[in-house]
Structures are given as structure tokens and as C-alpha cells.
């Protein structure tokens, strides 16, 4: 992706450290045929200013700062595109990897459930580890708990959130305000952990085979 903004060949670098969120190094390419200034954001995040031969550094710096909002927006777009390309190239988990994650989950998750159950104030039944593509955990009406083996790739605080989430279903088998109030009693910042599951976690889910 190459994106440009226009204001109407020699190359050098300028430093704009005073401009917040703008890369320190911006390449300037001058041309005697050019009459206006333009900004370009390349796919790799490189920022290029194309300028007339006679444009001063002060003019160029002023132009970049004037378009700082545009520049930040398109740098973020380039970063998201690179992240999406990297994600699409990530291979599916092999069955060996899934089995290893499931074995690890069997060693880790029961202990964390036992730790949080009295904090939540509930009892539970059987714990099962699964390799699901759509759910991180579930709680049955009988109190049996299911957890996704991919939780072993999540930060510890996210794992604990999923466990508390499912244990709170022992009190409220829904996602009503009462349910979320129970979650918040144990994990006040649960929304940030939920956000991780929706962003980073969804990328892991898409690598699940089967």
C-alpha cells in the first residue's frame, strides 16, 4: 500500500522528533520538475516527502506537521495491513501443538479454577479441556466447566478472567448486568481482558484446525 497527500531527484533524511507520533526519519526526494509538496506512506511504514528543488527544510517541516493527523492515520493503516498479512501467513496449529497445549492446560487450569472458585463463592463439577474454534470456555447447568486449550497462549491475567467468567455462570447463567457485576467483584478490569480475547485471541482461534 502506498498512500499520498499532495500540496498542489535528490534524496535526504530529516528528523522531526518534535512532531508527536511522526517517525524520526522522513525521506525527502527533491525534483526540479515538481511544483508542490506531497507526502507518501509506503507499505513498510517509510514516510517520503516529495518536494520542489527550491523548497526549504522549514517549508517541508511545516508541511509535515500540518498534515500530522493524516500521517498518523495512514501509518496506522499501513501497520494494520502488515499485521493482517503476517496473520494470514501464520500456519494452522498442528495436532501435535494442540495436544501439547491441551496437556499443559490440564496441568494448569484445574489449579486456577480451585483457586478462584471460593473467591467467587461457588462449587463446580468436571473440568474438560477442548480445542474449539469459537469459544474460550463454557459452563453447563450442572456446573461442568469447559476451557479452550488455546488459553495456554494467552497472558495469565486473560486465563484467569476466562476462569472467573465461567465460574460466575454458576451464579448467573446469562450475561445480564447481574452477571457482569459478579465478574467485576473479582476482576474489576475485566473489560481490558475481554478486549484481548476479541483482538489477539481471535487471531489464535483462526489458526485452529478442524
Tell me: the pLDDT tens digits for 46-75?
899 999 999 998 999 899 989 989 998 988
Average pLDDT value for residue range 6-23: 47
**Residue 25 reports pLDDT greater than 90:** no
Tell me: the pLDDT tens digits for 87-138?
656 788 999 999 999 999 999 999 999 999 999 999 999 999 998 888 999 9
Q: Determine the pLDDT at residue 150.
A: 96
Average pLDDT value for residue range 173-197: 95
Tell me: the pLDDT tens digits for 164-176?
999 999 999 999 9
**Residue 10 reports pLDDT greater than 50:** no
**Residue 15 reports pLDDT greater than 60:** no
Domain extents for the chain? 3-88, 95-206
**Residue 12 reports pLDDT greater than 80:** no
More confident residue, 76 or 170: 170
Q: Determine the pLDDT at residue 90.
A: 74
Q: Determine the pLDDT at residue 126.
A: 97
Domain 95-206 of CATH type 1.20.1250.40 = no
Q: Determine the pLDDT at residue 97.
A: 93
**Residue 84 reports pLDDT greater than 70:** no
Tell me: the pLDDT tens digits for 149-163?
999 999 999 999 999
Average of per-residue pLDDT values in the chain: 86
Q: Is the pTM of this model over 0.85?
A: no
Q: Determine the pLDDT at residue 19.
A: 42
Quickly list DSSP for the chain.
Answer: --EEEEE--EEEEEE-TTSTTS-SEEEEEEETT--SEEEEE-TTS-EEEEEETT--HHHHHHHHHHTHHHHHHHHHHHHHHHHHHHHHTSPPPPHHHHHHHHHHHHHHHHHHHHHHHHHHT-----EEEE--SS-SEEE-TT--EEEEGGGGGS-HHHHHHHHHHHHHTTT-SS-SHHHHHHHHHH-TTHHHHHHHIIIIIHHHHHT---
Amino acid at each position: 500500500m502506498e498512500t499520498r497527500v499532495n500540496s498542489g531527484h535528490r534524496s535526504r533524511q530529516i528528523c522531526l522528533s518534535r512532531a508527536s507520533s511522526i517517525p524520526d526519519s522522513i525521506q525527502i526526494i527533491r525534483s526540479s520538475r515538481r511544483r508542490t509538496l506531497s507526502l507518501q506512506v509506503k507499505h513498510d511504514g517509510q514516510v517520503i516527502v516529495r518536494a520542489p528543488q527550491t523548497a526549504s527544510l522549514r517549508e517541508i517541516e511545516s508541511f509535515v506537521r500540518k498534515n500530522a493527523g493524516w500521517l498518523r492515520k495512514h501509518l496506522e493503516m499501513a501497520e494494520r495491513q502488515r499485521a493482517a498479512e503476517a496473520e494470514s501467513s501464520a500456519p494452522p496449529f498442528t495436532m501435535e501443538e494442540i495436544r501439547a497445549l491441551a496437556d499443559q492446560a490440564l496441568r494448569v487450569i484445574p489449579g486456577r479454577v480451585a483457586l478462584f472458585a471460593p473467591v467467587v463463592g461457588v462449587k463446580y463439577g468436571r473440568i474438560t479441556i477442548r480445542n474449539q474454534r469459537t469459544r474460550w470456555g463454557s459452563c453447563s447447568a450442572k456446573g461442568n466447566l469447559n476451557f479452550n486449550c488455546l488459553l495456554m497462549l494467552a497472558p495469565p491475567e486473560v486465563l484467569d478472567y476466562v476462569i472467573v467468567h465461567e465460574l460466575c455462570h454458576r451464579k448467573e447463567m446469562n450475561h445480564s448486568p447481574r452477571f457482569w457485576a459478579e465478574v467485576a467483584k473479582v476482576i474489576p478490569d475485566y473489560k481490558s481482558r475481554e478486549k484481548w480475547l476479541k483482538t489477539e485471541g481471535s487471531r489464535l482461534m483462526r489458526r485452529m484446525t478442524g
